[in-house]
Amino acid sequence: MNPEQYEMVPIEVGSFVWYAGYGILLSMIVGLFFLAPRVGDEKMAKWEKFLGWFTLANLLWYQGMALLAGIWMKEESLPMHMCSFSQILLFIHLVYKKDWAFQLLAFWGPLGGIQAFLTPALETEPTFGFVMQFYLAHGLVVLAPIYLMVHGGRRLDKGGVWRVIGITFLTGYVMMPINALLGSNYMYTNNPPPVDHPLVQGEWPGYLVWIQMAVVVLFLMFYYGFSRYVKKD
C-alpha cells in the first residue's frame, strides 16, 4: 500500500467550512435532544425507522458522490472504517431492533466519531455535498446512541464494555489481512492515519499499542460516565 495514495484534505480549524460543520452538529443536537420524540411517544417507532433509513441513505450518498467525482476506490471508499461500521450498526438497530448492534454502536459511534471531529478531513476538496455528508455521518454516530440512551430507553449491558473491547480488537486484527489483500488501510490497522492525531504516535506497529491503550481507557470512561444507563441485571 502506498500511504501517499490516501492523502486527505484537512478542514482547517477556524475556517468557514469548520464553522459550517459545527453548525450542522449543533442543529443535530437541537433536533435530537429537544425536538425529536422520546420513549413513550406514539411517534417514536416511526421516527426511529426514519432515522435508521436516513442513516443508510447518507452512507449510500457518499458512495454515489465518490463514484460521480471519480474518487471512489476499493482501497478507501468501502464502508469499512469504524464510523462506517457504526452507521450500519445504527441502521440495523433502529430498523431491525437488534440490541447487539446497539451495544457495539454505543461505544464505536461516539468514541470513533469524536476522533473524526478532532481531525476532520475529506478525500477531496471541500464541497457542499461532501462536507454535509461528513458531518451528518459522524454527527449521527456520535449523537444518536446517546439520544437513544437518554430519551430512547436504551441501556448498556452490565459489564458489556469488556466484550465490546474484545470485539473491537478482534475486528482490528481481522482487518489487517483484509487490508493486505485490498491494499487498503481500513480502521488504520496497517498504517497510521494520514492526518495528525493526538492518539497516534510512531510508525507501524508501535502506534497500534497507543490506539489499543486508548480504546481501553476511552471505552471504560464512556461506560462509567454513562453508568446510569447500564442495565441493572
Question: How confident is the model over 190-207, as pLDDT tens digits?
Answer: 888 766 666 666 677 777
Q: What is the pLDDT of residues 21-61, one digit of tens each?
A: 999 999 999 999 999 999 999 999 999 999 999 999 999 99
Q: What is the rounded distance in angstroms from the CA atom of residue 166 to the CA atom of residue 162? A: 6
Range of the domain at 36: 3-229
Q: At a CB cut-off of 8 Å and minimum separation 6, what does 220 contact?
A: 161
What's the confidence (pLDDT) of residue 204?
A: 74
Report which listed range, 3-12, 16-25, 162-171, is most confident: 162-171
Classify residue 76 by burial, with Cβ atoms within 10 Å: 0-12, 13-18, 19+.
buried
pLDDT for the residue numbered 77: 93
How many whole angstroms separate alpha carbon 176 and alpha carbon 192? 13
CB 45 within 8 A of CB 127: no
Work out the pLDDT band at 125, boundaries 50, 70, 90: confident
Interatomic CA distance for residues 204 and 189, integer angstroms: 8
Residue 143's identity, in one-letter code, is: L
Contact 159, 126 (CB under 8 A): no
pLDDT value at 4 more than 90: no
Q: Is the pLDDT of residue 69 over 50?
A: yes
* pLDDT score of 233 more than 80: no
Given this model, what pLDDT does residue 194 score? Answer: 66
Residue owning grid cell 468557514: 16
Give the chain's domain count: 1
Average pLDDT, the chain: 91
Return the exposure string of 159-175: e unless at least 16 CB atoms fall within 10 Å of the residue's CB, then b: ebbeebbebbeebbeeb
Nearest to 196 by CA among 111, 109, 120: 120
Is a pLDDT exceeding 50 seen at residue 159?
yes
Residue 64 pLDDT > 60, yes or no?
yes
Exposure string of 31-41, with b = 16+ CB inside 10 Å and e = fewer, is ebeeebeeeee
**What pLDDT score was predicted for residue 7?**
67
What integer pLDDT is reported at residue 80 of this predicted model? 95
User: Do the beta carbons of residue 136 and residue 58 sit within 8 Å?
Assistant: yes
Question: Measured between alpha carbons, how far is 163 from 13 in angstroms, rounded to an integer?
Answer: 36
